[in-house]
Amino acid sequence: MSGCIQFLLDGEVQKVRVEDPNTTLLNYLRYEIARTGTKEGCAEGDCGACTVVLGELVAGSVRYRAVNACILFLATLDGKELLTVESLKSKDGGLHPVQKALVETHGSQCGFCTPGFVMSLYALYLKGKPSNKAEIEDALAGNLCRCTGYGPIIEAATRMFEIGADELPDMNAKKLSLQSVTRGVTLEIGGKSTLAGGKLQYYAPVTISALADLCAANTDAILLAGGTDVALWVTKQHRELSTVIYLGDVAELKEINDLADQIEIGAGASYSDVIDLLAVHYTGMGAVMRRIGSTQIRNSGTVGGNIANGSPIGDMPPLLIAAGAQICLRSGTQVRQMPLEDFFVSYGKQDIKPGEFLEKIILPKPAAGPSFAAYKISKRFDQDISALCAAFAVTFEGETISDIRLAFGGMAGTPKRAPQAEAALLGKAFDEATIKSAMAALEQDFSPLDDMRASARYRMQVAQNLLMKMYLEKLGGTNIHVFEAEATYAQ
């Protein structure tokens, strides 16, 4: 059993023995190799002080994305390229265009936040010049400013391209380097617990058949995808994960198939991988997805993970349920398919058997008739957990509602549909009286959660009002929600 991983750092191959699979990349950088430019702020992926850039091979090309080092396990770095703020130093010791731009626009701060901003800007720099200010704001939404404000930093995002794009990496050379650290077999790491004294096991298969075998043999294992949820068990709850199966190296789980009548999304596809495609077919879905965490979180977090963790306030399940999604659960070579809403049994309980794992999500493409709307209600616009999430799919025959799917998150112990409200709408005229009857019927469907994010009364009132909002949008021929959610894109 090998405990070594291989990755690129500043263009050089690093071979690192991982003694504890629970070690985060942030702790490795700061405490083992003294790359202290990467800071620790929140240790949960919110503040962006720990932002680094990862490069990896995707469909034969090199892709760079900003991620949070505090919730990334070191072992998952295998086969990738790591870039930290120290990586930007030129051979003559000068500043990179990103850094020069921050200096020239007076965007540099106390030093704690600045490295994270630099790396988020560097990921944007590698991607190419943004077409509008909204793309810049989106790239920086995961970095909290504590000193100067965002104005000079946003200006730097434009200035860095004016200074020059001549320091872009040689992608062909990067591709060859990454191929040299790519493995074709399962990575296995063993360690010894520092808490309980037992053994620690980490597996990273590269094929779906190997994953199925590992899940069957380790039914108590934690399945790790993006780590945006699981990593917090370690960093905030100080738990120790004894057996982990990492899903991020299984190419089949990241496949996205845009077919004639449906979209198939591998459970390991990230939010960033699918947001553009889903936004084309489902009005409002892209706007809600853009508000899931930050760019760093969406680059790491997966659609399948948002389903599998069974959270009653996850943003994706209500959207997918309203769209009529099916999921495929795999055990060995056997695949079990079911409507997504049937997967959630009760709070903290899902219909998944020992050894099974979520393989993919299947979304039927909407016909020309249905109208789709999606909404997220939270205290902050960016980087906030929903108090309430809702999505509605309505099909009309003339002015009559011929089919209806209403799905809510945050209203119960699981994401779920509203059968009484649907019954109040189905077969009825699409008018204000019908909508008001459905609003009243919601009180039969839900006894909302009452917690720190919102009271039960508030959630019910907002859920009812969202039905009226959907009606007014349709009546007016506009989508109020999309205008609100994407207001920054118009600046």
Map out the domains of the chain as residue ranges.
4-86+173-246, 91-166, 255-490
CATH for the stretch 255-490: 3.30.390.50
Q: Taking a C-beta distance cutoff of 8 angstroms, is the pair 181, 6 a contact?
A: yes
pLDDT band of 2, cuts 50, 70, 90: low
Choice between 478 and 279, residue whose per-residue pLDDT is larger: 279
Distance of CA 423 to the CA centre of its chain: 34
Which CATH architecture describes the domain 91-166? Orthogonal Bundle (1.10)
Residue 149 structure tokens: 């404000």
For residue 249, the one-letter residue type is D
Q: What is the mean pLDDT of residues 303-330?
A: 96
Question: If DSSP codes are grouped into helix, strand and coil, which group holds residue 7?
Answer: strand
100-159 pLDDT, tens per residue?
Answer: 999 999 988 778 899 999 999 999 999 999 989 999 999 999 998 767 778 999 999 999
DSSP symbols for 159-200: HHHHH-STT---HHHHHHHHHHT--SS-EEEEEE-SSSS-EE
- Give the model's pLDDT for residue 449: 83
- Which range of 95-99, 174-178, 208-212 scores highest in mean pLDDT? It is 208-212
To the question of pTM greater than 0.85 for the whole model, the response is yes
Q: How far is the CA of 35 from the CAs of 28, 53, 56, 77, 115, in angstroms?
A: 9, 14, 21, 16, 11
Q: What is the mean pLDDT of residues 450-469?
A: 94
Cβ neighbours of residue 306 closer than 8 Å, sequence gap 6 or more: 292, 314, 315, 316, 317
Residue 443: count of CB within 10 angstroms of its CB: 14
Angular region, 107: left φ>0, alpha ψ -120 to 50, beta rest: alpha
CA atoms of 330 and 337, how far apart (whole Å): 9
**Hey, CA dihedral for 380, 384, 387, 388, is it positive or negative?**
positive
DSSP symbols for 292-355: SS-HHHHHH-BHHHHHHT--TT-SHHHHHHHTT-EEEEEETTEEEEEEHHHHEEETTEES--TT
189-237 pLDDT, tens per residue?
Answer: 998 887 767 899 999 999 999 999 999 999 999 999 999 999 999 999 9
Choice between 259 and 170, residue whose per-residue pLDDT is larger: 259
Choice between 328 and 128, residue whose per-residue pLDDT is larger: 328
Strand partners, 397: 400
CA atoms of 118 and 124, how far apart (whole Å): 10
Q: Taking a C-beta distance cutoff of 8 angstroms, is the pair 14, 8 a contact?
A: yes
Question: Looking at the domain 4-86+173-246, which fold is it?
Answer: Ubiquitin-like (UB roll) (3.10.20)
CA atoms of 459 and 447, how far apart (whole Å): 10
Q: Taking a C-beta distance cutoff of 8 angstroms, is the pair 254, 269 a contact?
A: yes
Given a cut of 60, whether residue 481 has pLDDT beyond it is no
Q: What is the mean pLDDT of residues 384-405?
A: 93
CA atoms of 83 and 204, how far apart (whole Å): 22
| Percent of the chain whose pLDDT exceeds 90 | 82
CA atoms of 374 and 289, how far apart (whole Å): 10
Q: Taking a C-beta distance cutoff of 8 angstroms, is the pair 358, 327 a contact?
A: yes
Residue 175 structure tokens: 């591709």
CA atoms of 436 and 434, how far apart (whole Å): 5
Report which of 58, 70, 225, 62 is spatially closest to residue 142, judged by C-alpha positions: 70
Q: How far is the CA of 387 from the CAs of 56, 201, 232, 303, 307, in angstroms?
A: 35, 37, 20, 19, 17
